[in-house]
Amino acid sequence: MNDGIGVVSLYVDDQDEALAFYVDKLGFRVHADVRNGSYRWLTVQHPDQPSFQLGLFAPGPPIHDEATAQTLRAMVAKGAMPPLVLSVSDCRASYERLKAKGVEFTQEPVDRFGSVDAGFRDPAGNGWKMIQAPRNAT
Indicate yes or no: pTM above 0.85.
yes
Residue 1 has a pLDDT of 63
Cα gap 121→129, rounded to integer Å? 9
* Residue ranges of domains in the chain: 7-132
Q: Give the pLDDT mean for 114-129.
A: 96
Of residues 135 and 116, which shows the higher confidence score?
Answer: 116
Angle at 24 between CA 134 and CA 76, to 5 degrees: 75
Give CATH superfamily name and number for 7-132.
2,3-Dihydroxybiphenyl 1,2-Dioxygenase, domain 1 (3.10.180.10)
Mean pLDDT over the full length of the chain: 93
Q: pLDDT-based confidence at 134, cuts 50/70/90?
A: confident
Q: Is 46 within 8 Å of 87 (Cβ atoms)?
A: no
Residue 133 has a pLDDT of 83
SS3 state of residue 80: coil
Residue 9: what residue type? S
The model's pLDDT over 52-76, given as tens digits with 9 standing for 90+, comes to: 999 999 999 889 999 999 999 999 9
